[in-house]
Amino acid sequence: MGEDTAAAAPAAEPPGGGVTHEIVRPGNGVTRPRVGSLVTVHYVGTLRSSGKTFDTSRTAGKKPISFRIGEDQVIRGCEIGVLRMSLGERALLTIPSRLGYGDAGGGGGIVPPNADLVFDVELLEIEGRSVAAIGRYEAEVRKWATTKLDAFDADDKFRAKRLREHGTRDGYAAFLDAKVREKLSAVPMHKVGGA
């Protein structure tokens, strides 16, 4: 009875579980998938040790793949990496074995046991919406902000109220810019047209 039977706390896992994320080409920087999002990606999977390709969607005749994040349709390391990406981004995801195929290996022996992996991933769509569709929504949101700034410049009453709230024109412009970023980061997909 007097023994301390409490288990030691596990060592803290690095953010992202050890998956590294190197941006090859930036995306739009604001539209990101969440757990539960349906994403479409192009990918090339290689063995970290040799650089040998073991799977790809970029071969002639193949198409990008779609999967729902959090439903274990792809290896965990890919889910973790894609969650860090923004729409249109292309990144190299280095995935430790335990978040890949682990002790068992995979692909009918193509991926050996305990192999670390590198995936070249391009995030093409989130919930069926492409960079172009998001771009149209972004243009609408930015037009809204420009209209507000134009009203500030043209309407004395409007300007007086905004000066009380934000101090200067630059302060109001910064407020509008923050609102634009907020709207784009939330990306209400129902407001975005199709791909």
Q: Which residues are catalytic?
A: 43, 54-55, 75, 101, 119
> Could you tell me which residues are beta bridge partners of residue 66?
40
Cβ proximity of 66 and 130 under 8 Å: no
Cα–Cα distances (Å) from 154 to 40, 147, 160, 165, in that order, read: 45, 10, 11, 17
Beta strands in 79-150 (DSSP E): 90-95, 117-126, 129-130
Neighbours of 129 (CB within 10 A): 22
